[in-house]
Structure 1
Amino acid sequence: MPCPEAPTSAPPPPDASPDAAPGRPAWQRLWPIGLILAVLALAYALGLHRLLSFEALAAHRASLGGFVAAQPLAAALAYLAAYVAVVAFSLPGGAVMTLAGGFLFGPWLGAGLAVAGATIGACLLFLAARHALAEVLERRAGPLLGRVREELRRGGFWYLLSLRLLPVVPFWLVNLAPALAGMALSPYAAATFLGIIPATVVYAGIGAGLGQVFEAGGRPDLSVVFSPGILLPLLGLAALSLLGAWWRRRQQPG
């Protein structure tokens, strides 16, 4: 008596590949971006973006200064959290936040808090963008994106550092592009932290002198960061950073 043949598995659909893994549902990927857009819409609807202005800082300077004097630790933590939120949700007003840090906490502590808040916020935005879009981009990556990913793997820290050093490059754009191109988090965080220090120190120093500006009823001159005495050294540092990327690439085989 012949043995019955073992059942065979159904053939895969024509468009399936043995190595293909099902992607996550869209809502699981896109919810961080949806949250950012929802917070942005809510902030504009409630007019919260108007609080991130020089006029608002001038109007509330007495109450803010009193809060810092009465509860310095709580004020510093609140400022840090606010800066993280501004950067993570891409709200306009990073320059005003840095000025406020210098005005409220002095140039050095204000700069330190601003650098920490901007770095943490940028890393959160980086992770949100990577969570939402990196999987799709990796599946559809062509030769060009593949080369970009390889360049970032080899010298991404130096490339990003050069961009961070230049205040002319939009901060939000430099936050998102490395995540979409496949850069790792650790060099991204390190380059962000180091690269934003020079311009942040300049802005915090301007903020430390806002008392006299408020008394005179004027506005701070933020164009000083583009003056030759400040911009040329930043350009030099950016060039050295690119030189570091070139040297690292030359030292690596292949």
Structure 2
Amino acid sequence: MSQDPKAAPVTKRDGAWMRFLPLAVILTGLAIGYAMGWHQYLRLSYLAESREMLLDFVSDNYVLSAVGFALLYALAVAFSFPAASVLTIFGGFLFGWLIAGALVAIAATAGATTLFLAARSAVGSFLRERVGRRTTKLADGFEEDAFSYLLVLRLAPIFPFFVVNIAPALFNVPLRTYVAATFLGILPGTFAYAYLGQGVDSVLVSARQAGTEISVSDLVTPEITIAFLALATVAAIPTAVKRLRR
């Protein structure tokens, strides 16, 4: 069969452009969101101002509200809006800690996985091709115990959520491992913040009456942070023991 001489061959540059397309879409969506001012709605102060309206809407459209909340959460995570904690508190306030925790765990995992796949398609081979032997050895260690490392990173509130979503794309982490570690690792924090949201009503009322701004840091106690760090330490023990045996 003869080939059409007019057909343009697919070049290596074209393939590289396609690899970066998903990541470009995410960055464009993030820029549009900030330009439109949508991040202004992802504040506890907005929840305080709109609590009655939101509660009435959820009461009249419970299933639609739950599905819409999960979709919004997944999109916020996929586009790297720094609002995971606030949205989880929103969910706990609107749906109760149990339902909100389940919705957030599924939606956050879906959004994080979308971002991971987009980043991996763009920079997945970067580490192996461009960095030195020492960093490649570090990558080998991370990949060998990817589940344990990811679980610790998810449990410990040290790095921003979107950083942990993207960083494993630099390593050869299997998708199944990423999804499992993400889902299990975010469960404690998810239900803790959802529980905070369930009991935040009195704080919202007081803040609205006083006209003061509230933030997540006003709700999170040192005990909760210590509990997260303790969970991360426990999760790191098996990997540490394995390294010491070697």
Identity %: 38
**Corresponding residue number in structure 2 for 1:238:** 232
Counterpart-to-counterpart distance in 2, 1:24 and 1:250? 47
In the TM superposition, residue 170 of structure 1 has moved relative to its aligned partner by 1.2
Q: 59-68 or 127-136, which moves further after superposition?
A: 59-68
Q: 2:67 aligns with which of 45, 65, 77?
A: 77
How many residues are matched? Answer: 231
Counterpart-to-counterpart distance in 2, 1:144 and 1:64? 53
* Paired residue secondary structure (1:25): helix
Q: 1:140 aligns with which of 110, 117, 130?
A: 130
**Corresponding residue number in structure 2 for 1:222:** 217
Q: 125-134 or 147-156, which moves further after superposition?
A: 147-156
Counterpart-to-counterpart distance in 2, 1:238 and 1:134? 27
In the TM superposition, residue 23 of structure 1 has moved relative to its aligned partner by 7.3
Distance 1:135 1:23, change over 3 A: farther
Matching residue's letter, 2:207: G
Counterpart-to-counterpart distance in 2, 1:128 and 1:220? 31
Matching residue's letter, 2:165: N
**Corresponding residue number in structure 1 for 2:107:** 117
Counterpart-to-counterpart distance in 1, 2:117 and 2:125? 12
Q: 1:33 aligns with which of 6, 11, 23?
A: 23
Does residue 152 of structure 2 align to residue 162 of structure 1? yes
Which structure's residues are more often helix, by fraction?
A: 2
Counterpart-to-counterpart distance in 1, 2:159 and 2:221? 12
CA RMSD of aligned residues (A): 2.3
Counterpart-to-counterpart distance in 2, 1:153 and 1:208? 38
TM-score after normalising by structure 2: 0.85
Distance 1:44 1:234, change over 3 A: closer
- Point out where structure 2 has 5 or more consecutive residues left out of the alignment: 1-11, 209-213
Check conservation: 1:202, 1:225, Cα contact below 8 A: no
Counterpart-to-counterpart distance in 1, 2:14 and 2:149? 31
Check conservation: 1:145, 1:181, Cα contact below 8 A: no
Q: Which has the higher contact order (CA 8 A, sep 6+)?
A: 2
Counterpart-to-counterpart distance in 2, 1:47 and 1:149? 38
Matching residue's letter, 2:226: L
In the TM superposition, residue 221 of structure 1 has moved relative to its aligned partner by 5.8
Please identify the structure whose Cα radius of gyration is greater.
1
Matching residue's letter, 2:240: W
TM-score after normalising by structure 1: 0.82
Distance 1:223 1:213, change over 3 A: closer
Counterpart-to-counterpart distance in 1, 2:198 and 2:154? 23
